[in-house]
Amino acid sequence: MMNLDNGTRYLFKHKATPVAVFLIIALGFIIYANSLNGEFIWDDQYLVRDNIYIRDWSYVPEIFTRDIGAGADKPFNYYRPFHIFTYLIDFSVWELNAFGYHLSNIIFHILTALSVYWFTTVLFKNKTLSLLTGLFFLTHPIQTEAVSSISVRGDALSALFMLVCFILYIKLLDRDSVINYILMLLVYILALLSKENSLILPALIVLYHLIFAKKVEIIKLSSIAAVAGGYAILRFAVLRPVGSHALSLTALFQRIPGFFAAITNYIRLLISPFGLHAEYGNMLFNFTDLKAIAGIIIVAASLLYAFKIRKNNTLASFSICWFFIALLPVSNLYPLAFYMAEHWLYFPSIGFFLLLAAGFDNLLKDKSFAFVTKAFIIGALLSYSYLTIVQNNYWQEPLSFYQRTLKYIPDSPRINNNLGNLYNDMGRHEEAIVLFKRAIKNNPIYVKAYNNLGKAYYNIGDKEKAMKSFIKALKIDPGYSKAYYNLGIIDEELGMKDDAIKLLKKAIELDPGYAPAYNKLGLIYRESGKYRQAAALFKKSIEINPYYAEAYNNLEITYAGMGKMRKQ
């Protein structure tokens, strides 16, 4: 029988960094191997599957000047061009084979875990501590959403680039290097272009100086701050504000209790990672809610403790402050669509894992507890790995994903709406109608749900109820182009072609990039014998979406019709 102490000697007393690197890489691929079979799910539909910008390198300018959903005509109002750029690279290799995109996510997660290992080594010069931190970060199931969900890639990218930037910054404090200085700024730019939470890095660097009593070099720190400031000006002045499509109408004091409730949930999930799921909704809490009270106590006690021990225990103080500071971008001080999300823990959790690793590292130094401590460490890593493998199955395919998520949050308008869409596509229209109605009940101004309800009614042949649903959607949002488009389809089928043309033109006016509206309008013109106008509309549809097969087919038929007219 293998001796536990000999069999784990390297894990706890290692000198060869290459072996640590191999261990992190190997374990990363092992525990996320089953995610490679996953389909496109959740927002993958918009960011990857329907995104025309990732299908050709000529779209690079659009990727870097539009929001992440523009390529699918789906406004997200998040500016993360490098995130989308990585999909362009994926598509050039894998096209729409989800396997390749999942593989890239795994690689980015492993690279981030390696950066956690490197970062911890640079800070504390303790390779056992560094390896444990990297392994806990790598294997903990809280990371599955950021890894198994293709569309959440930005978390790993931003974390990876922020860590590398931070490492280069620390090294520059010890030794000047023009190359490292330039590389540091370039890497930070990539972090910002991957996800907006990277704006928090200057605050974490200031934390480093305060906790470790390192002398501030103004030029280096101000350079990082200048890059962050330049990005902020670009993002908030030139582009639309982050999350403007989902801004809560609630006041700040109404959202603050939700942040503390989220803290309670986050700590629980890190300690006991069971019941993990997507979508927590935009719930409002009161300061009298038990979770909010617990969160206030956790934050106050933790920060007070971190301040008290800042001189005697820099590691614990730094770890605690890192966790809370890194959470600030998703604290809902600036209104967001949800009060919490598991993938928002991806970067902040480094502080938790560093603290956990430090506790085990200290116990290892006590020979009387060394054997038991090693057993606990191995048990924790095995448990994390098993739970991660199991949780990866949650992200495998859309139907089971939405059905399971609905069990956790049955009143979620978005989950009900998305599952309803899936049922609609599967021909389960009656079930879809039930879900759309439930979504509307829980959010009476949910425009998309009204529009989708109308499509479901249309699919079962009830055009009257379909029209009422589309009209209701337009009462809520007079600028909702898809409802005009759907009403146009019904009017055309009812023989009211003039009304249909007006509705389709209105849809195009509201959304000039709405390719299906051009295509449908072209069909009406062609049926009326207006071949030239129809051809122009089909061409416009193809110009917007070069992969629109139906428009190509309609254009060919139109050209054939024009040829017959000439012969006559």
The end-to-end CA distance of the chain, in Å, is 92
The residue count of the chain comes to 568
CB count in 10 Å sphere of residue 23 = 18
Cβ–Cβ under 8 Å, residues 459 and 429: yes
Question: Distance between CA atoms of 169 and 566, rounded to whole angstroms?
Answer: 72
Delimit the domains of the chain by residue range. 16-40+96-240+247-275+284-395, 399-567
Pair of tokens at residue 223: 């350079």
How confident is the model at residue 255, as a pLDDT?
A: 87
φ, ψ for residue 335, nearest 5 deg = -60, 130
How confident is the model at residue 15, as a pLDDT?
A: 54
* H helices present in 460-548, as ranges: 463-476, 481-493, 497-510, 515-527, 531-544
Q: Which long-range contacts (CB under 8 A, 24 or more apart) does 205-209 make?
A: 205/166, 205/169, 207/318, 207/321, 207/322, 207/325, 208/166, 208/170, 208/318
Which residues, including other chains, have CB under 8 Å from residue 178's CB and lie 6 or more apart?
Answer: none
Among the CATH numbers 1.25.40.10, 3.90.550.10, 3.40.50.300, 2.40.40.20, which is that of 399-567? 1.25.40.10
Q: What is the pTM of this model?
A: 0.90
CB count in 10 Å sphere of residue 21 = 16
Cβ–Cβ under 8 Å, residues 165 and 187: yes
How large is the C-alpha radius of gyration of the chain? 27
Closest by alpha carbon to 264, among 292, 285, 238?
A: 292
Tens of pLDDT, residue by residue, the chain (568 residues): 334 444 445 455 555 588 899 999 999 999 999 999 999 998 999 999 999 999 999 999 999 988 898 888 887 878 899 999 999 999 999 999 999 999 999 999 999 999 999 999 999 999 999 999 999 999 999 999 999 999 999 999 999 999 999 999 999 998 989 999 999 999 999 999 999 999 999 999 999 999 999 999 899 999 999 999 999 888 776 565 444 444 445 677 788 999 999 999 999 999 999 999 999 988 889 999 999 999 999 999 999 999 999 989 999 999 999 999 999 999 988 888 889 999 999 999 999 999 999 999 999 888 888 889 999 999 999 999 999 999 999 999 999 999 999 999 999 999 999 999 999 999 999 999 999 999 999 999 999 999 999 999 999 999 999 999 999 999 999 999 999 999 999 999 999 999 999 999 999 999 998 999 999 999 999 988 888 999 999 999 999 888 889 999 989 988 887 765 554 4
φ, ψ for residue 33, nearest 5 deg = -60, -40
Question: Helix 153-174 crosses helix 98-124 at what angle (to 10 degrees)?
Answer: 30
How confident is the model at residue 5, as a pLDDT?
A: 44
